[in-house]
């Protein structure tokens, strides 16, 4: 993107990156340094992971982070990269639909052009919000973005598989029902974490009329295989953050037990990291 691009220009460009069969690949970041590294590796866009962001700011995931701190982090990431940024805002950091709209306005003010909005109901009577309740939240988010004149990409996350909502044989039908309702409410894409089985992924792609996002990781089909199924977006959620924290634990344990340093052998060069974070680049 260029300095002269408007938020609407950036949002339209981000939308154009979602091509079934040529998926947008998003190695999720959680702070400025990881966002710069992701962009430097060649990512066409930068996506945040709510879990990684929350952990980095000292709180658990699942709607424990307050909106102001989340928006501040989004703004910092946007300012640090040239690529479009899409933000994982969990359920909108809000109980009421009207407050979801406030979050969306904050995301746009921070400069991001996409959001993940999930239907998990942390602390609610059930694992997921009702279809009607989540559809209302998506519709409010759509209206708030449209009022700002920015075609925000709303990636509606369907947590049926993560939460095992419904009988095993009905999970696909329940997912498709929710996906269609969310698209009708204004979602631009559907994200179904917890599914990498090619048969199910193919059924989701065939049954949903907007770009489908799959979350991958070790053991999942390769990107080329998912592309062949028609997936339009691939992300890894908190996996990279988890791997980074695993290095912290291994290194600390090794230093404090064996007194050796093998876990640090693949560290990035100090000068390279410093150069990556220069503001005059």
Asked whether residue 281 is domain-assigned, the answer is no
Q: What is the pLDDT of residue 2?
A: 66
Asked whether residue 127 is domain-assigned, the answer is yes
Q: What is the pLDDT of residue 4?
A: 73
Asked whether residue 245 is domain-assigned, the answer is no
Q: What is the pLDDT of residue 5?
A: 87
Where is 156: in which H helix or E strand? strand 153-157
Q: What is the pLDDT of residue 280?
A: 63
Q: What is the pLDDT of residue 188?
A: 98
Q: Tell me if 158 sits within 8 A of 190, measured CB to CB.
A: yes
Q: What is the pLDDT of residue 63?
A: 86
Asked whether residue 172 is domain-assigned, the answer is yes
Asked whether residue 141 is domain-assigned, the answer is yes
Give the sheet arrangement for strand 24-26, strand by strand: 24-26, 233-235, 212-215, 189-191, 153-157, 114-118, 85-88, 46-47
- Residue 141: domain span: 7-218+226-236
Asked whether residue 276 is domain-assigned, the answer is no
Tell me the whole-structure pTM to 2 decimals: 0.95
The series of mean pLDDT values per 10 residues for the chain, 281 residues long, is 84 98 98 98 98 97 93 98 98 95 98 97 89 98 98 98 75 96 98 97 98 97 98 98 98 98 96 88 58
Asked whether residue 262 is domain-assigned, the answer is no
Q: What is the pLDDT of residue 122?
A: 85
Instruction: Convert 9-42 into a string of H (helix), E (strand) and C (coil).
Output: HHHHHHHHCCECCECEEECCECCHHHHHHHHHCC
How many Å apart are CA 66 and CA 221, to the nearest integer? 35
Domain count, the chain: 1
Asked whether residue 272 is domain-assigned, the answer is no
Return the ∠ at Cα 93 (arms to 145 and 245), rounded to 5°. 115
Q: Tokens standing for 159?
A: 């947590």
Q: What is the pLDDT of residue 278?
A: 85
DSSP 232: -
Q: What is the pLDDT of residue 73?
A: 98
Q: Output the domain CATH number for residue 210.
A: 3.20.20.60
E-strand stretches of 92-150: 114-118
């Amino acid at each position: 993107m260029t300095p002269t691009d408007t938020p609407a220009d950036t949002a339209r460009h981000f939308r154009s990156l979602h091509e079934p069969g040529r998926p947008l690949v998003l190695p999720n970041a959680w702070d400025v340094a990881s966002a710069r590294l992701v962009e430097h590796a060649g990512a066409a866009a930068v996506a945040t992971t709510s879990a990684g962001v929350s952990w980095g700011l000292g709180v658990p995931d699942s709607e424990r982070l307050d909106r102001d701190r989340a928006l501040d982090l989004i703004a910092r990431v946007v300012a640090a990269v040239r690529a479009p940024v899409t933000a994982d805002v969990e359920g909108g950091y809000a109980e009421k639909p009207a407050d979801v709209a406030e979050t969306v306005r904050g995301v746009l003010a921070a400069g991001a052009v996409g959001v993940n909005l999930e239907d998990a109901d942390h602390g609610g009577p059930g694992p997921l919000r009702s279809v009607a309740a989540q559809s209302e939240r998506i519709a409010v988010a759509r209206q708030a973005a449209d009022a700002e004149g920015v075609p925000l990409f709303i990636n509606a996350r369907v947590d049926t598989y993560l939460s095992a909502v419904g009988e095993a044989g009905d999970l696909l039908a329940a997912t498709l029902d929710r996906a269609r309702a969310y698209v009708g409410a204004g979602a631009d894409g559907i994200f179904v974490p917890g599914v990498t089985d090619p048969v199910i992924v193919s059924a989701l792609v065939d049954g949903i009329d907007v770009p489908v996002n799959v979350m991958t990781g070790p053991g999942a089909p390769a990107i080329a295989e998912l592309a062949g199924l028609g997936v339009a977006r691939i992300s890894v959620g908190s996996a990279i953050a988890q791997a980074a924290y695993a290095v912290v634990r291994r290194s600390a344990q090794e230093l404090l037990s064996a007194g050796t340093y093998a876990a640090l052998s693949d560290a990035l060069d100090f000068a390279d990291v410093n150069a990556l974070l220069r503001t005059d680049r």
